[in-house]
């Protein structure tokens, strides 16, 4: 039910309405799962950025995924860089680390 409400808000085309619905959900979660409510609030504006910019379709799907970043590190990085960044992959799955950023910067 919670996931359906989040997806329902993300499926809207009006970012202000989506934000209102997600804030209402966070308020309801405060009673039973305060950590989940905090997490939802923390990323709330970021999750609606593409909607605010009017970006949809395949581009939005690509930008909402961590796969392009993961692919860049695993397939295009020089072997030495790949070894460095893969060592940090267990820190937080799907989240780039400072080591990843330094490795990407060292390419160019």
Closest CA to 25 of 48, 3, 49, 47: 3
Q: What is the pLDDT of residue 37?
A: 92
Phi, psi (rounded to 5 degrees) for 97:
-105, 175
pLDDT per residue over 22-77, tens digit each? 999 999 999 999 999 999 999 888 889 888 999 888 887 777 776 666 655 554 44
Domain chopping of the chain, boundaries: 2-63, 67-107
Residues 22 and 40: beta-carbon distance below 8 Å:
yes
Assigned token pair, 52: 């605010």
Q: How far is CA 33 from CA 19, 25, 36, 47, 72, in A?
A: 19, 11, 5, 20, 36
pTM for this model (two decimals):
0.58
User: Which segment of 5-19, 35-49, 71-85 scores lowest on mean pLDDT?
Assistant: 71-85
Residues 40 and 30: beta-carbon distance below 8 Å:
no
Assigned token pair, 72: 């860049």
Under the banding of pLDDT at 50, 70 and 90, the label for residue 1 is confident
E-assigned strand segments in the chain:
none
pLDDT at 90 over 80: no
Under the banding of pLDDT at 50, 70 and 90, the label for residue 10 is confident
pLDDT at 105 over 90: no
């Amino acid at each position: 039910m919670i996931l359906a409400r989040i997806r329902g808000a993300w499926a809207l085309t009006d970012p202000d309405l989506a934000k209102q619905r997600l804030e209402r959900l966070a308020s309801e979660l405060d009673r039973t799962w305060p950590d989940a409510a905090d997490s939802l609030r923390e990323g709330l504006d970021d999750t609606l950025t593409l909607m605010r910019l009017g970006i949809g379709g395949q581009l939005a799907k690509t930008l909402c995924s961590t796969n392009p970043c993961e692919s860049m590190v695993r397939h295009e990085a020089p072997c030495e860089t790949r070894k460095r960044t893969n060592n940090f992959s267990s820190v937080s799955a799907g989240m780039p680390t400072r080591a990843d950023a330094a490795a990407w910067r060292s390419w160019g």
